[in-house]
Structure 1
Amino acid sequence: MPVNMPQPKIKVAHFLSGRIENLSGGDLVVLNLLEYLDRSRFDPWVVSFNEARNPGDPLIIKTAQTLEVKTFTINARGRFDLEPVGDLRKFITENQIDILHCHGYKADVIGFLACRQSEVKKIATLHGWWTGRSLKLKFYNFLDYLAVRKFDKVIAVSEPIRGTLARRGIPPDRLLCIENGVDIKRAGAANGDRIRSELKLPYGKTVLGMVGRLSREKGHRYLFSAIQAMDDVILLVVGNGPLEAKLRRLAENLHIREKVVFVGFKPDVSDYLAATDIFVLPSLTEGLPLALLEAMAAGKPVVASDVGGIPTVIGDKKEGLLVRPKDPVALKEAITVLINDKDLAKRLTANAMELAGRRFSVEKMAKSYEETYTDIMG
């Protein structure tokens, strides 16, 4: 190629399962990356699933289109319908994709099968693990592990996940950690007063915030138990999911319905975080939760479970307070400490904001992915 000829853009297709009604943490990471990816060097796509029971484009597809990213939807009837393998293979060939970047167990498995006999480079980002004790979930994790062993690069979003993958035999030269990043400027420009007004939150009460899918691994039930005996607190629950009806019943049964405000899924949680006084994350397992990083960037004191990638971000009594998982008493005590000790809360908040800006900016994350894409193409 002549020296003065521009280099062709690297075509990267992000491949992931999508939901009609919301965006997962992994979806949001991809969208953040797409917003900051250097379009002069990279030509991105988003490829997602449209299951027959939920016709229409997944929300990740619709949101990517607002960022002027090209998209493609694949129809899939069930969790392991293999017809999408051929559809994906055809898409990759017709659009001359250079890199298939998979997110999630289904994308990993189908992506591996679609690219087995092609020269397309394969990358998998592991945002966390499927949780639960069922044989089905263990089987999904096992299939995911078998698939990603054959990928050119495997990216963990936290050091604990990287350690697990290394112990499972992923070669060190193909394994790296790229931590999630958040938009620091957006967090600083959020308007919490508008949300407090819209939700008619009473003055004089401490507003606790929790952001996450309404599912078992997020530990909502333990936070509900923690606030049962607490006066002058309101809990904003941002998110939706399979346990919504059950959690609403639990709030009624614990007689805390007037303390809990369910606001549903919000694609941008910055204003809701700005409306809170304390961010609480009582998860049972985590990779590197985006909501935690957003709360840190927003200047909110944090109480979080000492699980997964959380302690790699939050040092106890340094950037926040860490508690044992499944422990409502410890949650209550930590929240009470932050309510009563304003100086401690300010110190933890300042430390967390500094760390978020230095280590978890979306610009830093995007640069790391760009370097990985360039490196894998040689």
Structure 2
Amino acid sequence: MRVLQLIDSLETGGAERVAVNLANVLSAEIEKSFLCATRKEGLLKEGLSDNVNYLFLNKQKTIDFKVIKRLSTFVKTNNIDIIHAHSTSFFLATIVKISNKKTSIIWHDHYGNSEFLESRKNGILKFCSKYFSHVFSVNRNLENWAKRKLNARSVSYLPNFASVDKNLSETKLNGVSGKRIVCLANLRPQKDHFTLVEAFKSVNNLYPDWTLHCIGKDFQDEYSKKVKSKVKTLGLSRSVFFYDSKPDIYYVLSQCEIGVLSSKSEGLPIALLEYGLAGLAVIATDVGECKNVIENNVNGFLINSLDYKMLYNTLIKYIDNRKLRNEYSKHYKNYIQEHFSEKSQLEKIIKIYKDIIK
């Protein structure tokens, strides 16, 4: 079979990493694997396998007839069986499907604000969904929502999986070895860096040699400016560091002890899976599917969102107790490797592909 992963950009977001990971692993499992970035390229392009056939469209507007024609021709010329459309790329996939009737669409819903689905707009999506052969939802809330709201033939829950490149080693973190906390999250309001910074200020008062490292796309917008201003106001400029997106995620994480997410809303964060593969002790807010990855007080800690005092107290538990950190990180790594492996998720995906082609 021939499958095209369709994604808006190759920036370092969760949906983008899933699309690249899928294209890469499928290249060894199916006849031909393709990936198309519609609007922007980015750091993730560096991690794309040479065995993946790549197309960049440079789409500039919602309805771009040249882009539609180019992608439609690409699909037809390469005899693509399935367009696996991620996030908002479903609209372009639907238009192309109309002129390529033999091609099927799978939509992969990575919607991050799954705690606030009642306000999600779905008019165009609902229309397009009648052309979807299947929907993959990254958490149970999204799965139930799709079954109630959309017209797709079938819907299933598909947890994310992480795949790390251990060969890259470029980024050297600031701070003291063995005393680093990392937050792998793009600078977006949903990720709530404010609560994290507030909690870390209290940590810094007790343990000034510990540092916080924020890895993720910096959009240089109002949110980014406010977060950095907060760091400066709290006197943390020598203890909190921002690195923007980085291609060598595994190497970055291997330099840290504790991985944290302070999000207000999530699906199943790939960052949490990557923390596990890198052997970090983890803390995350109890939102989305985080509770299905972290078993509180067994292999990590779950905290309430927007609660900086609870986050501070939990960070201190880890900092004060190296034995606890090592025990939880070991249990967590084993759990991630067993339940969120590339192999187990790939089997589910290929089965759906085969059912659709039949």
Same fold (TM over 0.5): yes
Matched, 1:15 2:14: no
In structure 1, list runs of 5 or more residues that go unmatched.
1-9, 52-56
5 Å-filtered alignment, 1:20-31, equals 22-31=11-20
- Which residue is equivalent to 1:234? 211
Mapped contact 1:50–1:58 kept (Cα < 8 A): no
Matched, 1:264 2:244: yes
Matched, 1:147 2:128: yes
**Superposition deviation, residue 319 in structure 1:** 2.2
Q: Deviations over 1:303-324 (max 9, x none)?
A: 1010011111112112211111
Percentage identity across paired residues of the two chains: 21
**Bigger Cα displacement from structure 2, 38-47 vs 261-270:** 38-47
Match among 104, 114, 119 for residue 96 of structure 2: 114
How many residues matched? Answer: 348
Q: Tell me: CA distance 1:166–1:219, structure 2 relative to 1, closer, same or farther (3 Å).
A: same
The 2-side partners of 1:89 and 1:38 are apart by 21
- Which residue is equivalent to 1:218? 191
Match among 256, 265, 279 for residue 276 of structure 1: 256
Mapped contact 2:33–2:51 kept (Cα < 8 A): no
The 2-side partners of 1:114 and 1:307 are apart by 35
Match among 172, 178, 181 for residue 208 of structure 1: 181
- Which residue is equivalent to 2:286? 306
The 2-side partners of 1:40 and 1:238 are apart by 32
Q: Deviations over 1:237-261 (max 9, x none)?
A: 1112324333222211222111101
Matched, 1:101 2:93: no
Match among 20, 24, 38 for residue 35 of structure 1: 24
Mapped contact 1:18–1:59 kept (Cα < 8 A): no
- Which residue is equivalent to 1:48? 37
The 2-side partners of 1:62 and 1:349 are apart by 29
Q: Deviations over 1:325-362 (max 9, x none)?
A: 11111111111112223343333222211211111111
Match among 246, 249, 271 for residue 226 of structure 2: 246
**Superposition deviation, residue 63 in structure 1:** 4.1
| 1:95 alignment partner AA | N
The 1-side partners of 2:312 and 2:127 are apart by 41
**SS of the counterpart of 1:143?**
helix
The 2-side partners of 1:206 and 1:61 are apart by 32
Q: Tell me: CA distance 1:241–1:321, structure 2 relative to 1, closer, same or farther (3 Å).
A: same
- Which residue is equivalent to 2:317? 337
The 2-side partners of 1:149 and 1:339 are apart by 52
**Superposition deviation, residue 297 in structure 1:** 1.9
Mapped contact 2:168–2:247 kept (Cα < 8 A): no
Mapped contact 1:279–1:300 kept (Cα < 8 A): yes
Mapped contact 1:82–1:110 kept (Cα < 8 A): no
Mapped contact 1:251–1:257 kept (Cα < 8 A): yes
The 2-side partners of 1:132 and 1:181 are apart by 21
The 2-side partners of 1:190 and 1:69 are apart by 20
Match among 173, 176, 179 for residue 199 of structure 1: 173
TM-score between the two structures when normalised by the length of structure 1: 0.83
In structure 2, list runs of 5 or more residues that go unmatched.
none
| 1:71 alignment partner AA | Y
The 2-side partners of 1:168 and 1:318 are apart by 36
TM-score between the two structures when normalised by the length of structure 2: 0.88
**SS of the counterpart of 1:257?**
coil
